[in-house]
């Protein structure tokens, strides 16, 4: 998340999210390499689209900026996070996984934050508290949705975040992604949706077994 925060300091929110959402595409590649999952045609197509989208986002104004680099770095790290979380979930309970991640994350970021402590006025403090409340509420609603809907239904909805971020970024900050950045965002969203709506091999096997049992 540190990379993402650095990215939005110089990019529009939607462009930064476009880089961040390359994470599922990176995770798809890593799951094949590290977890031995079977490569599917839809996955390979998604990887190509995600790579093209990353190129467009990385050079939104025909020049590489540190913001676009950090945006893509956040996506790469997110991809590793998704794969490692999936691997850990086989032997670690979900609540323990979240607790360990939170403690390690806080321990790693604390020294960086302590190096240069900025002056925080009441307005900034209120914004930080509001950010924490909204983040907590978003995670709570997301977990509640998982009790009602399956992953395949919820995953594509995550990409609405880019469209909403673009609208809020324009309304609050007056910034919008460039044309090339929009092309990259569309490529990344399409790649992510391809991965999200394609059932996993285990799901396909389960479905065939259910049909045969009938």
pLDDT of residue 130: 93
Q: What is the DSSP letter of 171?
A: I
pLDDT in tens, 134-170: 877 876 676 677 667 655 556 666 777 777 788 888 8
| pLDDT tier for residue 214 given thresholds of 50, 70 and 90 | very low
C-alpha closest to that of 96 among 106, 85, 107, 81: 85
Q: Say if CB 78 and CB 26 are below 8 A apart.
A: yes
**The pLDDT value given to residue 155:** 60
Using alpha carbons, select from 153, 196, 182 the residue that is nearest to residue 17.
182
Tokens of 5: 């925060």
State yes or no: pLDDT of 85 exceeds 60: yes
Where does the pLDDT of residue 186 fall: very low under 50, low under 70, confident under 90, or very high at 90 and above? confident
Distance, CA of 43 to CA of 39 (rounded, Å): 7
* CA–CA separation, 189 and 195 (whole Å): 10
Give residue limits of the domains in the chain.
2-213
Q: Residue 88 phi/psi, 5° resolution?
A: -70, -30
**Among 69-78, 99-108, 129-138, 204-213, which stretch is predicted with the lowest mean pLDDT?**
204-213
Mean pLDDT of the residues in the chain: 76
pTM higher than 0.85 for the full model? no
Structure tokens, 185: 């965002």
Alpha-carbon span 46 to 35, nearest angstrom? 18
- C-alpha–C-alpha distance, residues 207 and 8, integer Å: 42
- The confidence band for 212, taking pLDDT boundaries of 50, 70 and 90, is very low
How confident is the model at residue 46, as a pLDDT? 81
Question: H helices within the chain, ranges in order?
Answer: 2-8, 13-20, 23-34, 41-58, 66-88, 94-115, 122-146, 151-157, 160-168, 179-197, 201-213
Cα 212 to the chain's mean position, in Å? 37
The rounded distance, in Å, linking the Cα atoms of 210 and 170 is 48
pLDDT at position 208 over 70: no
């Amino acid at each position: 998340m540190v990379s993402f925060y650095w990215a939005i300091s110089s990019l529009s929110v939607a462009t930064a999210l476009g880089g961040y959402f390359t994470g599922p595409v990176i995770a798809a590649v890593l799951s094949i390499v590290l977890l031995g999952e079977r490569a599917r045609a839809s996955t390979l197509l998604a990887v190509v689209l995600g790579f093209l989208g990353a190129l467009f986002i990385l050079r939104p104004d025909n020049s590489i900026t540190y913001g676009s680099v950090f945006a893509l770095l956040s996506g790469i790290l997110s991809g590793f996070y998704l794969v490692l979380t999936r691997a850990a979930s086989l032997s670690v309970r979900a609540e323990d996984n979240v607790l360990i991640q939170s403690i390690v994350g806080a321990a790693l970021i604390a020294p960086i934050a302590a190096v240069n402590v900025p002056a925080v006025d009441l307005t900034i403090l209120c914004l930080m508290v509001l950010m924490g409340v909204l983040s907590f509420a978003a995670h709570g609603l997301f977990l509640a949705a998982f009790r009602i809907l399956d992953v395949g239904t919820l995953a594509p909805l995550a990409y609405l975040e880019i469209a909403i971020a673009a609208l809020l970024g324009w309304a609050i900050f007056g910034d919008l992604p460039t044309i090339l950045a929009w092309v990259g965002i569309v490529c990344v969203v399409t790649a992510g949706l391809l991965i999200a709506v394609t059932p996993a091999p285990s799901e396909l096997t389960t479905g065939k077994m259910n049909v045969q049992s009938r």
